[in-house]
């Protein structure tokens, strides 16, 4: 049975210039749909993720960006589903005091070791997570850590296009 790749965007979703959207178009990956991209509630996002994974079949790899990384960490603490792996990209630090107030219920960030292979990818100048905090997430989750250098939040504004370096990391998870 083939592996299903699911993308999980963060706050606001991923627009047409975002590498997640471009991967969906280029490689036919499927997006986890959220009811409200702009006023996320953790329990709602976790339920939508659970439903998407259940519908996708037994072999799933997730590609989570920003707030979706926290969604996956919360989901992992409650689910019975197994994943082939997760690529966590620019995991937003939901514990920051200046985190957007429209984001509800994502703090504290779960820091339990994850039961599946994962890679945390971060940037040295991400406004939503410090490099040290992203490394802390990787260590706690048992993830490999990759520092991409000064690329901001690794989103559309970073100008990554199809982001071949990120796709190579995904292929490594696929084994």
> pLDDT truncated to tens, each residue of the chain (175 aa)?
789 999 999 999 999 999 999 999 999 999 999 999 999 999 999 999 999 999 998 999 999 999 999 999 999 999 999 999 999 999 999 999 999 999 999 999 999 999 999 999 999 999 999 999 999 999 999 999 999 999 999 999 999 999 999 999 999 999 8
Cα gap 28→75, rounded to integer Å: 24
Are the C-beta atoms of residues 94 and 70 closer than 8 Å to each other? Answer: yes
The residue among 3, 139, 116, 129 whose CA lies nearest residue 65 is: 129
Each domain of the chain, given as residue ranges in start order, spans: 4-174
- pTM beyond 0.85: the answer is yes
Q: Which fold has domain 4-174?
A: Rossmann fold (3.40.50)
Q: Counting every residue, how long is the chain? A: 175
Token duo for residue 119: 């890679």
Are the C-beta atoms of residues 93 and 48 closer than 8 Å to each other? Answer: no
């Amino acid at each position: 049975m083939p592996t299903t790749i699911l993308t999980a965007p963060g706050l606001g979703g991923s627009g047409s210039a975002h590498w997640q959207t471009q991967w969906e178009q280029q490689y036919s990956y499927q997006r986890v749909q959220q009811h409200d991209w702009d006023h996320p509630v953790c329990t709602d996002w976790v339920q939508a993720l659970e439903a998407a994974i259940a519908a996708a079949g037994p072999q799933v790899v997730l590609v989570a960006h920003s707030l979706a990384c926290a969604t996956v960490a919360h989901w992992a603490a409650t689910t019975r589903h197994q994943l082939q792996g997760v690529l966590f990209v620019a995991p937003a630090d939901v514990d920051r005091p200046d985190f957007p107030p429209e984001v509800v219920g994502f703090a504290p960030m779960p820091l339990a070791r994850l039961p599946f292979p994962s890679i945390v990818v971060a940037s040295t100048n991400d406004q939503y997570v410090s490099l040290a905090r992203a490394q802390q997430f990787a260590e706690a989750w048992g993830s490999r850590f990759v520092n991409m250098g000064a690329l901001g939040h690794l989103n559309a504004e970073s100008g990554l296009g199809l982001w071949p370096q990120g796709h190579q990391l995904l292929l490594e998870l696929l084994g």
